[in-house]
Amino acid sequence: MEPRWPRVTAAVVFVAGWLVTVFVGFGVGIAGDYGLGTASGHPNGGLFGTSLVFGGLVGGVTGGLAYRRATRFCAAALRRRLARTGRVSPGTVRSADLDHRCNPRGPDRIAVTVTVWFPTDPDDPRLSSREIAALKRTMAVFDYDRDEALAYRDRYPIGTPVQVYLGRRRILYSTDLDPTRFAWYQFW
């Protein structure tokens, strides 16, 4: 069984990096607003006296958005690397489930889970050598707009052949399912 520490470490680093980026952006926003206010001659710093917090919030939101874009870029680089250097394994779709959760105050949440069945060793024909991976995509939809989620589920009927790329540390990526997602597969 694979140890959990790589996944836990990646999650902690991701959350800590996001927090640090937001706090640094908040500080840069306050410092920039204070500098602009001082340069324009306001006695309290800040452009409008109380705009320091606004400058900090703008800086924090900008930092959070920049971090999100950077993590998406890193995930895309990881997907390209897995597709280039990973072992290719033929897989099939085992199930495609749709989980609808109603929200009385806003858009509903629909989670589409596509389960893929694939051999960890492509040269081993035994069914006992196969692994299962669940790739999940969650969408916020209103009652009148469920077509995207239903089309995503119906695109992968049971038995659909897919290519699975296996990397180190059991990272799974399948370009045939959804090019914007990759997952660590579940070994239990």
pLDDT tens by residue, 51-76? 777 888 888 899 889 988 888 888 77
Please count the residues of the chain: 188
Whether residues 77 and 54 fall in one domain? yes
Range of the domain at 64: 5-83
* Distance (Å, whole) CA 170 – CA 114: 18
CA distances, 178 to each of 114, 145, 152, 162 (Å): 10, 20, 9, 11
What is residue 185's DSSP assignment?
P
Average the pLDDT over each of 17-26, 102-111, 147-156 and give the range with the smallest value. Answer: 147-156
Number of other CB atoms surrounding residue 151 within 10 Å: 10
* Alpha-carbon separation of residue 180 from 6, 9, 76, 78, 174 (angstroms): 22, 22, 8, 11, 10
Task: Show which of 83, 108, 123 is a domain's final residue.
Answer: 83
Question: 187 pLDDT exceeds 70?
Answer: no
Based on the domain organization, do 77 and 32 belong to the same domain? yes
Q: Are residues 91 and 158 in the same domain?
A: yes
For residues 119-132, average pLDDT: 70
Question: Is the pLDDT at 24 greater than 80, yes or no?
Answer: yes
Q: Are residues 67 and 147 in the same domain?
A: no
**pTM over 0.85, yes/no:** no
Task: Find the farthest-apart pair of alpha carbons in the chain and give their distance in angstroms, rounded.
Answer: 78
Q: How confident is the model at residue 20 (pLDDT cuts 50, 70, 90)?
A: very high
- What's the domain count of the chain? 2
Domain shared by 119 and 61, yes or no: no
94 and 166 part of one domain:
yes
